[in-house]
Amino acid sequence: MTCLLRLEHITHRFGKVLALDGLDLAVPAGEIYGFLGRNGAGKTTTLRMLMGLMVPDAGRIELFGEQVKSVPVRLKQKIGFVPQEPHFYPWMTARQLGRFVGGFYPAWDDAEFERLLRRLDIPTDRKASVMSGGTRTKLSLALAFASRPPLLLLDEPTTGLDPVARREFNDQMIELQREQGTTVMFSSHLVGEVEQVAQRVGIIQAGSTRFEGTIPSLRAQVRRIRGLDAPIEAPGWQRVRGDVYRAIEADWDAAILPPGAVAETLGLEEIFLAFARTDELRDEAQAS
């Protein structure tokens, strides 16, 4: 598996706050990678680091097969970025923004940008200040794809959009990704959205990766066991939360559960909640 992007043991602090705590992730080329995490889990910090706006305190960044301490401008030219809330110059129209942004990318494709504007139904003569939130987000997507980047980073782009607009945006993003074969890293805290869009997910909690893999493998590895009298404590078995356990698929297949206990597969949202809600585990740890 060729990875365009790889982070290993990344640590970063904001003063006394540990934002990233040994984060590991790898984004395979040509896939859409869903980066799931609660608010404050460290998603935006990770993406800002990948945009070269921050330098990790420790750890290793590998981008396009090149190991870097921080992301230089020449690599940034290969990355498209769609922020959570685009801060366009309010006095610029879509075309003017295209001309402006195009000046920074050697691979900028004007014709492609025009095509994207038509396809995403973005008005070309309207100033950014009077565009709706959905239109601004689509414009941001068009600007990101028009530079034909090998890697596209999206930082919770659909936050604030209504469900219809969100669905439209995601569909168009998937189509464009298929057309151009772009590798996409897509951060979100909306599980359904990630399930719809991503082929591979990484779940981050408190600055470290709790799970990374395809969605089927995630669903195969993380299951709930109902009817357990006592927690399972065996090598290869990890209790995620409550009665939710994680083990490799072969272990699940070979497992002999106590009488009355039944293993159930879970939806992605339930799995995410099991990873993200660590309060019960913390309480148990403190009690012991």
Contacting residues toward other proteins, per CB under 8 A: 51, 53-55, 73-74, 76-77, 79, 81, 83, 86-91, 96, 100-105
- Choose between 91 and 253: whose C-beta lies nearer to other proteins: 91
CA distance 37 to 47: 13
Would you say 86 or 207 has its CB closer to other proteins? 86
H or E element that contains 73: helix 73-76
CB of 45: closest distance to other proteins in angstroms?
12
Rounded least distance, CB 256 to other proteins, Å: 53
Minimum Å gap between C-beta 69 and other proteins is 12
Distance CA(205)–CA(275), nearest Å, equals 7
Dump the DSSP string for 190-212.
-HHHHHHH-SEEEEEETTEEEEE
Neighbours of 227 (CB within 10 A): 12
Nearer to other proteins, 90 or 258 (CB): 90
Q: DSSP assignment of 24-35, as one string?
A: EEEEETT-EEEE
Nearer to other proteins, 41 or 54 (CB): 54
Beta sheet of 3-14, edge-to-edge order: 17-28, 3-14, 58-63, 66-68
Q: Are 91 and 103 in contact (CB under 8 A)?
A: no
Q: Closer to other proteins at the Cβ: 156 or 243?
A: 156
**Least distance in angstroms from the C-beta of 27 to other proteins:** 18
Task: Map residue 95 onto helix, strand or coil.
Answer: helix
CA 264/CA 222 separation, integer angstroms: 9
Nearer to other proteins, 71 or 240 (CB): 71
The distance of closest approach from Cβ of residue 265 to other proteins in the complex, given in angstroms and rounded to an integer, is 39
CA distances from 25 to 155, 158, 205 (A): 16, 23, 13
Give least dist CB 263 to other proteins, A: 45
Q: How far is the CB of 102 from other proteins (least distance, A)?
A: 8
Q: Which is nearer to other proteins, 73 or 285 (CB)?
A: 73
